[in-house]
Structures are given as structure tokens and as C-alpha cells.
Amino acid sequence: MGAAIYHKTEYRERRDHYAVFWANREPDAFDTQREAFLGVYGSPARPEAVFGDGCTDSVAHGWQPIAAQEFDLELKSGESESILFGLGYIENPQDEKWAAPGVVNKTRAEAMIARYADDTSFDRAMETLRAHWSGLLGKYQVATGDERLDRMVNIWNQYQCMVTFNMSRSASYYESGMGRGMGFRDSCQDLLGFVHMIPERARERILDIAATQFPDGSAYHQYQPLTKKGNLDVGSGFNDDPLWLIAGTDAYLRETGDFGILDEQVDFDNDHALARPLLEHLRRSFTYTRTHLGPHGLPLIGRADWNDCLNLNCFSEHPGESFQITGPSEGPVAESVFIGGMFVKYGRDWVNILRHVGLDSEADEALEAIGAVEKAVLDAGWDGEWFRRAYDAFGHVVGGKECEEGQIFIEPQGMCVMAGIGVQSGEAARALESVEQRLDTKYGIVLLNPAYTRYHLELGEISSYPPGYKENAGIFCHNNPWIVCAETELGHGDRAFQVYRRTAPAFIEDISDIHRTEPYVYSQMIAGKDAPSFGEAKNSWLTGTAAWTFLSISQAILGVKPTLDGLRIDPCVPSGCKGFTLTRQYRGAVYEITVNNPEGAQHGVKELRVDGELFQGDLIPVSAPGATVRVEVLLG
């Protein structure tokens, strides 16, 4: 029954694998030579076999082998037929490679084909696959009444989080080559959106990443997923990197409560002789930033921080030079307000971890260092209406009113407010107003404004892009959710959701002709208002946007926040939201959460009931594995 096309190029004594393409019905014709299928001057846009007289039973010998099967069907109106196609890959053991001299052993392929021989067995396999994905995505499921939001949260955003966890930024179909490997910073952030799905794999990843860290706490900027070793080409000196390890590990601890990971012996620089507990790695991350402060008491930026294109210590004048690693690249003057915000935010997470493992005096000392940087951010980092971005190598402000171009950047506004800086004293609210006034567009928030119109030697790559693209005032999707999270810190549910939905794929399906990338997946960038193609997205799939948007919707807006000690319930929703129900699997228990918002509040838990009982506070302690916990929330 059926027919299979085998691709066995170079399957000989040395090579042991082949591919197979099959159908569960005998074809009327086939092709295996690409040129025969496409036509001599044909192309996939117009294959001769499809537009012409059909397949010609071509047999490939070299060139480009393909596999095509032709079925001549006549269907009456309403009639349907089922043909199953399969594409498989087989490796044979050395002593089972041949059925006869020169004849490939197809036993394994035939067994595989038999497994999917008819609709029943196919449906059964599909059901297994569906159950697998339901299990993975079922850890967080919401019903809000808005089909688009549910679809993003329950399926596509989580799925994209898994893809970015697996691929980081390597193997993109927009970029070629294996050069990049996995980013230290990227992979740590990807954890934030993935850790709830398969915590075991997140654990393994954290240990892999930490093992590439240098003994002084700094990090290779990239590492190779196959060797799990740091990538020498780009080296280190991206001074935000170390703190992301705290962020990723803290997310894992909050999800799992697995504090045992902190005791794991982990290499430094992949040298087993240098192995120390993971806790020591986090300590060195924190210490690296604490001990690398600049003239204003802000963290030194090094080669770059999160924004790889803001190169304050690299002065490249010639084409072909790397913007990150040419010339001095690092220096003792240029500082990053953004890393200042990170240090406050993830430093506090570090303090919480320290307290949890009983290192209170170290926690107190850390808090002191954090306080000093927080003060520096509010002093040297505050421009009057927003947070500055940095100081360059000459001590000049980057991202301030005095700047000719690039007066305000998104990153420090998001990160500093997320860190809680200026929330009490008013700078936070003022900064977010400035974002809305100066960076907002109908398609998302641009990275900076005004765009750079010429190359600034002292700023580097960011000013090499045309206005409105990439980091030069593009809508860099990754940091839009930072503003979402920041707005929820201030209880601004309407604004938070407004920002969220402007870049959420399901909400912008009706502008697909402008947006152009897949309407179910986030892209790295959307062209900003200064670009001729304003609203056009690029580089879908592999972007930290996936993790951060999932964080922003699942934790900041819908408000289910894992903490070291349990789930905190603290939604911050648009006033039009009447409520929602949500299922969250957490440390083995299932939380069935119902949120009611009869008065149209944006924020504030008025009443919380756990299994019907009134509950004080908003932090629900960890329940026993297997338990189902019923949570009712009244906003107001």
C-alpha cells in the first residue's frame, strides 16, 4: 500500500542515514529530480509539473534531488478523500545497513511508514501530539472573553517562548550562518517566558549559561549551543550580561522553589577546576556591577548594555569594522543608566534570594550598594522629565534634553520604573508620561526620539541605521513590554493594555498589509514613524519580545506573579475589563482563579478568597502538589 521515495545520497559503507517521503496510496506519477519538477526555467513559483503535464517519473542522479508524488483525483462536489504523506529520517546501525549488497536496509523506514498507514493511526498520533502541547501550554490558560487575547496568551505567545528558548537567536531564517550561537543575555531573558513550561530544561539551561561565566562575574556575550562553550569572537564586556543571570535564576526559583539549584557546583569559564556553587555565580554577577561603577556612581557600560548598538567606547570610522570590538571598546568613563535600573531591580531579587538562604547581613550590605546606585540614577540619571540613557566616554549625556538627536530613550524609562525607582517620589510617573508624549506611535513605542540623522562617532552603530529602523528609533518590540510592566507598577491598567495590544500580533491582524510578518508571532522590530515603511515588521520569531510580552501579560496585567514564597495575585487591567478566569499550574498544584471587576477598576485587590475563605493580603502560599486551589479575586 502506498509508495515511498528514498533519498540515499552518499548512503554507502561510511554514511548510515537516509530520508524517506511516502504516501499511503500509490501515486499516478512522481518526480525526484528538481529540474524535472520545476522545469528548466521554472521555479517554485510556477513548477512545470503543476502548471504543465504533471510529473514525469524522473529519477535523480546528483544535482538537486526532491520528492514529489502526483495523484490524479476527481472529486464530486462535497466529496473528499484522504491521502497521508510522511517525511522521515532513518539511521541504520553499522551491522544492519544493507538488505543485500548495494541495497539499503529499509526495515526501519517501513516500520515508521506502517505506524502512520491509515487515518485511524494518524489521528491517534495527532491526538498524542495535541495532548503533548496541551500539557506544555496548559500551565497557564486564561479566558478573558476576548478571543484575541486568549489566543495570544494560551497558544502563540507561549509557543514562541518555547521556540526562542530552543533557538535563542541562532538558526533564524532571516539571518544566515551559525556564528552567533546563543546569547548570554538573550537566553537568560528567554527563561522568563519559558520557565513555567518545562522547569527541568530551564534548570539545565541556567547551569549551562552560568558555566560560561568568567571568574570575575563578567560573561562571554555568546556561547555555542553544541559545545556549550563561550564564543571568543565577541568576547565579554557587555556589562548588563551578568545581571541577567540573576534575573533568569530568580525566575526559576520563583517558579519552582528549587533552592537546591543554588548549591549546584558550576564551572567558571567552562573550567571544572574553577567550579563553585551557583549561588557564588550570582554573587559575582552582582559584585561585578557593584565594583564597575563610573564617575557618577552609575554602572560602566563596557562594550554595550542591552542595546548592542549603543557603543560608547568604540570609535569606528571605517566600513567593515565591528562596532562592538574595534578600538578601546571598554573604558572607565561611559556609564549606563539602564544597567543602573537593572542593578536596582535584579539586585533586589538577589537580596530576596540572600534572605531566603539566611544570608541577611550580606543582604543588608547589598541593599546599601543598591541604594547608592538608585540615588545615582535619581541624581545623575534624571534629566528633569525622564531618565537619561547614559554618559558617553567624554562624560556627555546621552538621551537628555541637551542632545541634538536621541534626546529620550525607552530603555531606562522601562527598566528604572520596573525597578521601582522614583515610584514614590514621582519621577517614575513623569518618565512614563514622557514616553507617551515623545515615543508613542500608533504601532508601538519607538526606541528613541528624535532619530539620529547622521553618524555619531561617539555613539556607534545606533546612529548608522536609517532613521526609524532597528535601534535608531525603530519600534524595538522587546522593550515595549517593559513599559507595560512599568505602567502596571503605577497601577495604569488602561495604558498598560494599550501598549500591550499595539504590538500583540492577534490585535493587529487587520493591518497585516502594513505589518507584513506572521500575524501570530512577535517580530524583533517594527519600522518607526521616521521610516518610510512605518509599521512594517522585520525578523519575526527569534526575539526576546516573546518572553517579555508573556511576562507583561501573564504577570503584570493579568497579575499572577510567582514569588519565592507563593503566588501573588495583583491584576492591573483596563477599566473596561469585567473580569476573567485563569488556570495556573504552580509547583504541582492547580490554581483556578476567577477575577471579578464589577466597578471597572484598573488596579487593586479589594477582596481575595481562597477555596471560599476570605484571605488577607495577596500572596497565596504554596499548596501541596496535586491540590486544586480555588481563588476568587474582587478588584476595586
Whose CA is closest to 531, among 466, 479, 478, 471?
Answer: 466
Rounded Cα distance between 298 and 499, Å, is: 29
Closest distance of CB 451 from a copy of itself, Å: 12
Rounded Cα distance between 383 and 388, Å, is: 6
Closest distance of CB 309 from a copy of itself, Å: 13
Closest distance of CB 447 from a copy of itself, Å: 16
Nearer to a copy of itself, 13 or 200 (CB): 13
Closest distance of CB 87 from a copy of itself, Å: 21
Q: Is residue 82 exposed (0-12), middle (13-18) or buried (19+ Cβ within 10 Å)?
A: exposed
Nearer to a copy of itself, 457 or 627 (CB): 457
Rounded Cα distance between 553 and 577, Å, is: 14
Of the residues 186, 308, 349, 392, only one is catalytic, namely 308
Closest distance of CB 16 from a copy of itself, Å: 7
Q: Report the run of H or E that residue 4 belongs to, with start and end.
A: strand 3-7
Nearer to a copy of itself, 148 or 538 (CB): 538
Rounded Cα distance between 474 and 469, Å, is: 4
Per the document, the length of the chain is 636
Nearer to a copy of itself, 46 or 132 (CB): 46
Closest distance of CB 83 from a copy of itself, Å: 24
Closest distance of CB 42 from a copy of itself, Å: 6
Residue 620 CB neighbour total at 10 angstroms? 22
- Catalytic status, residue 308: yes
Residues at the interface with a copy of itself (CB under 8 A): 10, 12-17, 39, 41-46, 59, 61-62, 101-102, 316-319, 321, 453-455, 457, 464, 466, 469, 527, 531-533, 538
Closest distance of CB 44 from a copy of itself, Å: 7
CB-based contact 542:478 (threshold 8 Å)? no
Start-end of H helices in 410-552: 410-418, 427-438, 480-489, 493-503, 512-515, 545-551
Nearer to a copy of itself, 175 or 364 (CB): 175
Nearer to a copy of itself, 5 or 419 (CB): 5
Q: Copy the grid coordinates of residue 316.
A: 569606528
Rounded Cα distance between 28 and 453, Å, is: 61
Residue 243 CB neighbour total at 10 angstroms? 28
Nearer to a copy of itself, 1 or 457 (CB): 457
Nearer to a copy of itself, 59 or 111 (CB): 59
Strand partners for 23? 3, 85
SS3 state at 157: helix
Rounded Cα distance between 510 and 248, Å, is: 35
Strand ranges, E, within 286-364: 335-336
Phi, psi torsion values for 247, nearest 5 degrees: -60, -50
Closest distance of CB 140 from a copy of itself, Å: 36
16 to 63, 88, 104, 438: CA distances (angstroms)? 21, 14, 10, 61
Q: Is residue 64 exposed (0-12), middle (13-18) or buried (19+ Cβ within 10 Å)?
A: exposed
Phi, psi torsion values for 160, nearest 5 degrees: -65, -35
58 to 4, 32, 86, 261: CA distances (angstroms)? 14, 6, 20, 58
Strands 628-635 and 444-445: unpaired
Nearer to a copy of itself, 61 or 442 (CB): 61
Q: Copy the grid coordinates of residue 247.
A: 534575573
CB-based contact 418:491 (threshold 8 Å)? no
CB-based contact 489:428 (threshold 8 Å)? yes
Nearer to a copy of itself, 108 or 516 (CB): 516
Nearer to a copy of itself, 316 or 488 (CB): 316
Closest distance of CB 272 from a copy of itself, Å: 28
Residue 126 CB neighbour total at 10 angstroms? 12
Which residue bears the cell 525578523? Answer: 539
Strand ranges, E, within 46-149: 65-70, 85-91, 98-100, 103-104, 140-143
Closest distance of CB 422 from a copy of itself, Å: 36
Catalytic residues: 308
